[in-house]
Structure 1
Amino acid sequence: MRTIHAAPVVRRTWDAEPVEGDAVVVTGALIEAVGPLTLLTERFPDARVRRWPGVLGPARLHEGPLPPAPSPRERVHALLKSGAVAVLGEHLDSPELRAAADRNDLVVLAGARTPALTATGRADLAAFDESGTCVATVCAGRLVFRRR
């Protein structure tokens, strides 16, 4: 299913200038397009539109150890709740934690990289409200966290 993710402000990278009125089209696990919401809704009239408060940008890379929690599954969920879907492999220090990361389609990296929203790139997005709290995380095109 094709989904358009929109927010008052979109950042293609977290260092890029914010763009008002932009949105991201996600089809399956990939980003199909990034651009003005008005043009994208015209181009994809049958797409579902999800509107998020605050700012929408690429899901983040978590560079340190995963947050503490009672189980590997809960440690990965805590990461997703923070807006991150990528982690450095050195911090997946047990087979159970690596399996939980794999089950949730986390990106496991050997080194840091700058996440970006690009057409044909993997659909990893995060939305943050005005206070900086993550309100939604999309991992490989799937909505894996939404704050109610």
Structure 2
Amino acid sequence: MLTLHTAALLRRDQDGESLPDHAVLVSGDRIEAVGPLAELSSAYANARVRRWPGTLGPGLLHDCPLPPAPTPRERVHALLRTGVTAVLAEHLTDPALRAAAERGDLLVLATAVAPTLRSAGRADLAVHGVDGACLVTVVAGRIAHRRA
């Protein structure tokens, strides 16, 4: 199923320009297109549309030890609540923690790579509100966290 994710503003990368009225078209776990909402809505009229408040951008890379929590699953969920969709392998040396990260579909990277929204890329997205709080985290095309 095709899904258009859109927000008031979109950033293709963390430090990029904020673009109004843009969207990300997702099919399965991949990004099909990134562009103006009007163009994508017209070209993909049957796509489900998810409108989010705030700024839509790539999921974040976590490049330090995971936050403490009682279980590995809760440690991974703590990342999802902040918009993280990728973590460096060096911080997943505990097999239980690595398994929890893999079950959550977090991207495990050997080296740091700046996340970007691009066609054919993995559909890892995050929406942050004006206060900086993460509102939604999409990992490999599925909503993994949504703030109530």
Coarse TM-score class (shorter-chain normalised): over 0.9
Structure 1 unaligned segments of length 5 or more: list them: none
Q: Which residue of 2 aligns with 1:116?
A: 116
Matched AA of 2:76: V
Structure 2 unaligned segments of length 5 or more: list them: none
The equivalences for 1:65-84 within 5 A come to 65-84=65-84
CA distance in 2, matches of 1:130, 1:118: 24
The equivalences for 1:116-135 within 5 A come to 116-135=116-135
CA distance in 2, matches of 1:116, 1:87: 15
- Offset at 1:93? 2.3
Percent identity of paired positions between Structure 1 and Structure 2: 57
Matched AA of 1:61: L
Paired residue secondary structure (2:50): strand
Matched AA of 2:31: I
Paired residue secondary structure (1:74): helix
CA distance in 2, matches of 1:102, 1:134: 21
CA distance in 2, matches of 1:49, 1:10: 15
Count of aligned pairs between the two proteins = 148
Matched AA of 1:51: R
Q: Which residue of 1 aligns with 2:58?
A: 58
Q: What TM-score, normalized to structure 2?
A: 0.98
Q: What TM-score, normalized to structure 1?
A: 0.98
Q: Which residue of 2 aligns with 1:141?
A: 141
CA distance in 2, matches of 1:74, 1:46: 36
Matched AA of 1:56: L
